[in-house]
Every structure is written in structure tokens, then in C-alpha cells.
Amino acid sequence: MLIDNHNRIINYVRLAVTDRCNLRCNYCMPAEGINFAKSDKLFTIDELSRLSEILVSQGVDKIRITGGEPFVRKDLIVLLRRLSEMEALKDISVTTNATLIGPYIDELKVLGIHNINVSMDAIHRKTFEKITRRKHYDTVYNNMIRLITEGFNVRINCIALEGQNIEDILPMLELTKHYDVSVRFLEEMPFNGGSKTFDKITWDYKHILEYIRDAHPEYYKLESPKTSTSINYKIPGYKGTFGVIPSFSRTFCGSCNRLRISATGDVITCLYAKASTNLRDIMRAENSEGRVKAEILKAIGSRAKTGFEAQKKYENVFDNSMTSIGG
Ligand code: SAM
Ligand code: SF4
């Protein structure tokens, strides 16, 4: 079992399989001039499978595949097949922009991969296209609805972006009236590859909740798992639920159970920290398993207690783009 220096059990890994993406969401990365990693710097699918096996042998039982956009990797399904064969891995989930998932939906079902987070920050086409800087609205919307209606456990991630999609908050919420889906409103974080900096946000989780409360005073709070980053609610009579994720306010650090590994092998122990070590070259050496395990233990043994502590410790952490961290 992996236990960090603050006695938190780490059983959840967010594994980024690429830093590339077919969208250019303006809160995540600049429109141009992004330095994506060269292909040989990315883990291969074999390396990702081996790394996952090592992590699972250390007590990890939940892996979330993320990126960049995971499905830009044409061989992603091979990794998903292998993960689904790992018995001790209880939960495999994917975070995706839903542009490219269509052809894989049937197989995901067969593999038992039901937990899919879809990022969609606007229900209005124009707003969506402005935020993502691409024209994939119909594909994303249709894939999202298909996932929901075909029985996947879908959570929609929608970042509240001042001046961009605030008019979309209530219509996004209305999706939960008609569908058994969870819509989660996230606070924006300044990990956008340097395109904009900020040290406070207007739309923190309290503000989002007040805004929703004005329209739906009857909503009520739900019980959530202790390690959940979202605080969850329901509007009576609605099929689905909604939540807020205080990713910038960082109210959930005390029960953090997660570790992030980037597509190039960086081990990131907190969103607000720089990488503590890199596993790629270690993985590529002979007899690497023992060293990989030791590096993970070392990283977990020196985690910051909170995102605020991490932020203080590391300089220039906001130069990072979420496309390399994986969200
Ligand atoms: N491409 C996939 C997607 O968009 O779902 C997976 C990778 S994306 C980096 C993972 C998550 O990070 C998404 O839900 C996205 O909305 C979120 N994210 C990206 N940039 C963010 C930011 N600056 N603040 C808060 N969340 C962010
Ligand atoms: Fe791509 Fe996801 Fe970042 Fe949008 S949030 S640019 S879809 S990685």
C-alpha cells in the first residue's frame, strides 16, 4: 500500500498518455506555439502497461486515463484492453473531450470501462467553439449523449470561465433534468501554458453555488465519498446530479488520494507542484521495476500537505499547461 508522509493512502493514479490534443481550449493551452513532447519522449503503450502493473502491485486500484486528449493515441485501446485484464485494478476511467471516442464506445462497454468524464464547457455552439478554438461541437455533444444513453457513468466537467460561459451554467445544469448524468462545475486554475495569469477567481465554488441557488433554491446536498474532489448536489425531481470542484480553492487536499504521472514520465504529487522525479529513462533501463517502485515511494514520501504549500515551494509552477499535467 502507498501511504504518503501525511498518512494519506494513495490508491488513485491519473495517467496521462499524451500531451497532444486536437482541441485548443483557451483555459488549458495557448492557440499556437505549444511545445509538445517528441514521440520518443512519450511512454509507449508497453511502457504504460508495465508502469500500470507496477503501480497496481504497489496498491493502486484506480487509474484514470487522461492527457492531452487520450484518444489522439490510436493505440490507446490496446492499453485499455490490458488494464481491463488487471484483476486488482478495480476502477479504470477516462477523461476525454469526446471528439474521438465514438468508434471505441462499443469496445469500452465490452471491457467494462464505464466511468467516462467528458469535458464540455458550453452548451451553446458559438461559446463552445470560441473556448475550444475548434469546430467539433456536434461530435462532442452527440458522443456525450450516446455515452449517457448507452449506460455509461458520465460526468461532465464544465469550468466556470468568467466572461466566457457563465450563461451556460444553468443550461448545462438542465442536462441533469433529462439525463442521469453528473454535471460538475470546476474552478479555473492558472495552468494554461502561460497564456494568462491570475491569483484570484470570480467564479469560485461558493459563487457558482450561489448562482445556482438563485435559480434552484430547492437543491440539496448529497453524501460524497471521502476522497471525492467534488461536492455534490441534486435538484429534486431531476434525473441526474451536479457538483462543484474547488480546484483553485483547494478545500479537498486533506483527503487527497492521488498521484499524477505525465505522458513523458514526470511524477507529480500535487497539481500545484513541479515533478518530483521522472520515470521514463528509469523504465527504459534494464531491471527497472525495483527502481521505479523506489522512486514512487520516494515521491510519495515527500508530498506537500496542501496545494497551497506546494505552490509556495515551487517557482513558476503556473508555466505548466494542463495538457501535460492531465487535469
Ligand atoms: N483532453 C481531455 C479533456 O479535456 O477532458 C483530458 C485532459 S484535460 C487536461 C483534463 C481536465 O482538465 C479537463 O476536464 C479540463 O477541463 C481540465 N482543465 C484543463 N485546464 C484547466 C484549467 N486551467 N483549470 C481547471 N481545469 C482545467
Ligand atoms: Fe485538449 Fe482537454 Fe486541454 Fe481542452 S482541456 S485543450 S480538450 S487537453
> How much is the pLDDT for 112?
97
Nearest by Cα to 20 from 54, 57, 58, 71: 71
Task: Tell whether the model's pLDDT for residue 193 goes beyond 90.
Answer: no
> How much is the pLDDT for 80?
98
Residue 184 lies in domain: 2-324
Task: Write the pLDDT tens digit of every residue in 249-286.
Answer: 999 999 999 999 999 999 999 999 999 999 999 999 99
327 Cα to the center of ligand 1, angstroms: 5
> How much is the pLDDT for 33?
84
Q: Are 63 and 13 in contact (CB under 8 A)?
A: yes
Q: Is 23 in the pocket of ligand 2 (CB under 6 A)?
A: yes
Give the domain CATH number at 32: 3.20.20.70
> How much is the pLDDT for 8?
96
Q: Which ligand is nearest to the CA of 157?
A: 1
pLDDT band at 324 (very low <50, low <70, confident <90, very high): confident
The total number of structural domains in the chain stands at 1
Task: Tell whether the model's pLDDT for residue 316 goes beyond 90.
Answer: no
CA-to-CA distance for 130 and 125, rounded, in angstroms? 9
13 Cα to the center of ligand 2, angstroms: 19
As given in the structure block, the three cell numbers for residue 181 are: 448524468
Residue whose C-alpha cell reads 492531452 in the numeric block: 68
Evaluate the CA torsion angle 197, 65, 17, 8 in order and state its sign.
positive
Q: Is 247 in the pocket of ligand 2 (CB under 6 A)?
A: no
Average pLDDT over residues 134-150: 98
Q: Is 140 in the pocket of ligand 1 (CB under 6 A)?
A: no
Beta bridge partners of 138: none
Mean per-residue pLDDT of the chain: 96
Q: Is 154 in the pocket of ligand 1 (CB under 6 A)?
A: no
pLDDT band at 182 (very low <50, low <70, confident <90, very high): very high
pLDDT band at 320 (very low <50, low <70, confident <90, very high): confident
